[in-house]
Structure 1
Amino acid sequence: MDSTKSNILVIGFGGIGTMTAYNLEAGGRATVTGVLRSNYDLVASRGFRIWSCDHGQVESWRPTSGMNAARPVRNKADMMIVTKAVPDARTMASPFDYIVVCTKNIPDIPPTVAEVIAPAITPRHTSVVLVQNGINIEKPIIAAFPENVVISGISLMNSSELRPGEIFHQDHDNLIIGAFRNPNLDIETECRAAKLFTDLYNASEKATGEYSAEVQFMRWRKLVYNASYNSLCAITGMDTSKLRLTHTAVTELLLPVMLEVKSVARAAGYQLAADQEDISLNGDPLYGYFRPSMQQDIEKGNFMEVEVIVGEAVREGQRLGVPVPMLSTVYSLLKVLQFRTKVNKGMVELPPMKDFGAGNIVEVSKP
């Protein structure tokens, strides 16, 4: 490995993770190792196909090396060994400087983020960058790795995986970066690590890495959008444009949820803009027909980030004495959908159906 480059592990190669990793390598100041999951076999054989508004069309791209969870494979494109296992830092010649986590943050579905990244962590050296949605996501990471810097990454780009290994990136990559406060470390150390990562992200001159010391404020601001649009698009099956064109969805659903998030943020000490709900409501082009991540997840039969986006907001409201009736209702509906996904994936064993004496009728009616 080039010792002049930062050694970076990226975990999660969906739409956001792939573009994050590609941009880091495009800057020439990072060597990226990728942990791939469902798309590993396809990407190992032919690489990613990328259509990007920032980087143009890219064919057959692979990170410097790629990983997931079982067997080693020879990557013919760059002659690097790729494997399917999160690397063990104890066996590596050079530790990872940064671990960038771009997976969904779903603490109610094992394994947890802390469990996934644990083998690759070098105490007092590796910084963990959480490019994930939600609030309070840093707490379990700081608890598991009290000697390591934890950095917030708020991605504002719209990028999705159209098919396995095919990425469509349709608006500018803007990543807001800042250190979460770890009481075990000095602020200077945390800020230095966050600012260096910002420099690495800006090195490509194609994307924007925006350093901000107001990490929690930025996360609450994005939550106004995510807790409303992300949740309600998933529940209704309608994209952002269709939802906005339904007047009652705006006045009776979107705006009430946004206002509740603002109220909880204010009670937590974060004064969002007076018109933040209008900014969030109209942030996407009216005719953009965007499908937020939770809607895409439910359509694919995947788990959603229910807890970090909505559950934590509800719990913060309860802790601070702020009424959140709409958020609580949305949370309950999302948990029902999450349970359905667990059933469909065979994670819940349901009791057999009782025939109530109609067994013969049921048998006769079977195709």
Structure 2
Amino acid sequence: MSEENKLSVLVVGGGGVGTIVAVNLEAGGHAKVTLVLRSNFSKVSRDGFSIRSVDHGNLNGWRPHEVVDQVPAIGFGKPGFDTVVCCTKNIQDSTPSIEELIRPAVTPGYTTVVLIQNGLNIELPLVAQFPQNVILSGVSFMGSHEPEPGIIEHDFEDKLVVGAFRNPGTSAALSNARARDFVGHYSAGGKTVCEYTADANRSRWEKLVYNATMNPICAILRTDTATLRLSDSIENLVRPAMEEIRAAASANGYNLDASIAQRMIDMDPMEIFFKPSMCMDALKGNLIEFENLVGEPLRAGKKHGVAMPVLTVIYDMCKMLQWQLKAAREGRSQEDMLKVYDSGKP
């Protein structure tokens, strides 16, 4: 395919997941990718990525079509992007918001926005900001992280489920067609499993069985999923939390299979002592994306009268952890913390 006929894609977030998304899109030959980097920009612009991938093998010095250190603005003779793919963490405690971040690159009524991010109801701010744009949901089941700037370790195969979020300002037929088109582009390289779904939120609820339980518990304890299983804490902590997510999903119209809890418990191979993404962020001193992963399903369940005592405790402990992380990042002393407490401000 000629360069001018390739899909012009902006991928925002060049960490573990976003980099593999960019690799896969370019591998298919259907897209030219501009990748937005932050802390790793200098390293990658100089040396490229060093990637060890279960799907793509070892790639040394890899770069996409272009790397940039900020979201490009359209206009002034610069062509717009066909698709903007968001692979950043979705953290409500940080600024700018994702819709503010990508706004300069989105052509109203034209650009397709793809959210390859975790959590529930993440599309609502995008629908409000871009009422005439197609918004797609991408639920990724890959395991990939960046232990050092520019070093990508992709351990679990790339599986992506894509569907359309409902945006009242766009037709359902157009949104579903764009979702199927993206699946085709992403699958073109033959290196991944990418599937279309007519119901994007079902896949999100399914992933929350893991992401609202194992993920935050490991972050709170700074431990791995194998240790959770070895410590015999599954039956009194993890499984009850997973069943609460199932109950919340059912109350919201999604009846998840009774076996899903055990599948999620067994998902990570014991021998690798896997630390989920929220745990890795906490260990690095980064803020955690707990509101959309724990808070939103908790609120969605309670809205329908679902009792969720275990998830409530997990949520409150995540709030405490986030407070600690923010205090450390801002260099607050104990004296500073007491001043914050006395002022009644978070």
Q: TM-score range by the shorter chain?
A: over 0.9
Of residues 164-173 and 258-267 in structure 1, the stretch that sits farther from structure 2 once superposed is 164-173
Query: How many angstroms does 1:235 deviate by?
Result: 0.9
Matched, 1:300 2:284: yes
- Counterpart residue type for residue 245 of structure 2: V
Residue 140 of structure 1 deviates from its aligned partner by: 0.5
1:6 matched to 2:46? The reply is: no
Matched, 1:232 2:233: no
Task: Give the equivalent residue in structure 1 for 2:202.
Answer: 217
Matched with 1:331 is: 315
* Cα distance change of structure 1 residues 349 and 140 upon mapping to structure 2, 3 Å threshold: farther
Shift of 1:318: 2.1
| C-alpha displacement of 1:172 | 1.3
Q: How many Å separate the matches in 2 of 1:253 and 1:181?
A: 35
1:341 aligns with 2:325: yes
The secondary structure found in structure 2 opposite 1:3 is helix
How many equivalent residue pairs?
Answer: 337
Of 281-290 and 238-247, the range deviating more from structure 2 = 281-290
Instruction: Provide, for residues 12-47 of structure 1, a one-character-per-residue CA deviation record: whole Å limited to 9, x for no partner.
Output: 011111000011011111010010011111001100
Amino acid paired to 2:225? T
Query: Match for residue 198 of structure 1?
Result: 183
* Structure 1 position 2, deviation (Å): 2.4
Offset at residue 236 of structure 1 (A): 1.1
User: Counterpart of 1:26?
Assistant: 27
CA drift of 1:162 comes to 2.1
Query: Matched residues in 2 for 1:4 and 1:256: separation?
Result: 51
User: Deviation digits for residues 148-205 of structure 1, max 9, x if unmatched?
Assistant: 1111111111111121101111121111111111122111100111111101101111
How far is 1:282 from its partner?
Answer: 1.4
Shift of 1:3: 2.2
Say yes or no: does 1:267 pair with 2:251. Answer: yes
CA distance in structure 2 between the partners assigned to 1:291 and 1:25 by the alignment:
29
> Shift of residue 98 of structure 1?
0.7
Q: CA RMSD in A?
A: 1.5
**Bigger Cα Rg:** 1
1:278 aligns with 2:277: no
CA-to-partner distance for each residue in 1:78-107, whole Å, 9 max, x for gaps?
Answer: xxxxxxx21111235421111010000012
Q: Percent identity?
A: 44
Is the contact made by 1:108 and 1:307 (CA closer than 8 Å) also made in structure 2?
no
1:86 maps to what in 2?
A: 71
Judged with a 3 Å threshold, the aligned counterparts in structure 2 of structure 1 residues 5 and 263 are, in CA distance, closer, same or farther, namely: same
Distance 1:349 1:2, change over 3 A: farther
Alpha-carbon distance in structure 1 between the residues aligned to 2:39 and 2:312? 33
Report the secondary structure of 1:90's partner residue: coil
Residues 347 and 213 of structure 1: is their aligned pair in 2 closer, same or farther, counting only changes over 3 Å? farther
Which 5+ residue runs of structure 1 have no aligned equivalent? 69-84, 355-367
Q: Indicate whether 1:99 and 2:84 are aligned.
A: yes
Indicate how the Cα distance of structure 1 residues 259 and 353 shifts in structure 2: closer, same or farther if over 3 A, else same: closer
Aligned to 2:344: none
Question: Any idea what SS the aligned residue of 1:287 has?
Answer: helix
Match of 1:179 among 164, 176, 198: 164
Unaligned runs of at least 5 residues, structure 2: 339-346
Structure 1 residues 49-68: aligned runs within 5 Å: 49-68=50-69
Q: Counterpart of 1:47? A: 48
